[in-house]
């Protein structure tokens, strides 16, 4: 049974990375290099400490959880990262709370439970799953994807920060400047 769970987790990780790491399909010899880059620049986590480290300034541009994760302390998403870690790429960061198949269809959603999630990274997207707790947005470009839910409130540092946010997902609480 442990072997099966290990293989299942590995398969989910590969599926998630393949969907998060590639915008275009490359059938050339460079395709293998692109896959290697995605593996080295993503953080796949299944426990609280790994999640906290993954979203820190020393973390990665994308942090994906592989199951429900509960963090008992406030978490800060900090640092400037670029899409797929490309130095010339757009400033972008992503928290993926889901697993997907090879066709990029979400196959499982996960819940991140945290008392307070403070967003200091510009252009952070939360996609899939649920953040259970309050989200404090201090950086421009916050994005709650249509597949994601915040089971709590979203507080913005200013009207200007709020004006740059794109909230396509569900928020069970309020959204306000605080």
Q: What is the pTM of this model?
A: 0.79
For 142-160, the pLDDT digits (tens) are 999 999 999 999 999 999 9
Residue 141 pLDDT exceeds 80: yes
Q: Which two tokens stand for residue 152?
A: 């709590």
Average confidence score pLDDT of the chain: 84
The single-letter DSSP state of residue 46 is -
Q: Which residue would you say has higher pLDDT here, 13 or 77?
A: 77
Q: Which two tokens stand for residue 60?
A: 């990665």
Residue 18 pLDDT exceeds 70: no
Alpha-carbon separation of residue 125 from 44, 88, 152 (angstroms): 16, 19, 17
For 38-92, the pLDDT digits (tens) are 333 468 999 999 999 999 999 999 999 999 999 999 999 999 999 988 989 999 9
């Amino acid at each position: 049974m442990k072997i099966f769970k290990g293989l299942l987790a590995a398969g989910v990780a590969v599926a998630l990375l393949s969907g998060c790491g590639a915008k275009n399909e490359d059938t050339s010899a460079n395709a293998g290099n692109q896959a290697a880059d995605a593996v080295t620049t993503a953080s796949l986590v299944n426990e609280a400490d790994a999640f906290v480290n993954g979203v820190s300034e020393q973390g990665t541009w994308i942090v994906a959880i592989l199951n429900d994760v509960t963090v008992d302390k406030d978490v800060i998403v900090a640092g400037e990262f670029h899409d797929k870690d490309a130095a010339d790429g757009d400033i972008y960061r992503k928290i993926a709370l889901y697993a997907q198949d090879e066709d990029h269809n979400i196959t499982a959603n996960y819940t991140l439970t945290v008392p307070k999630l403070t967003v200091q990274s510009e252009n952070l997207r939360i996609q899939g799953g649920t953040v259970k707790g309050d989200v404090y947005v201090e950086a421009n470009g916050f994005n709650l994807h249509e597949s994601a839910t915040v089971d709590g409130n979203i507080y913005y540092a200013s009207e200007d920060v709020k004006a740059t946010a794109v909230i396509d997902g569900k928020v069970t609480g309020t959204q306000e400047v605080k």
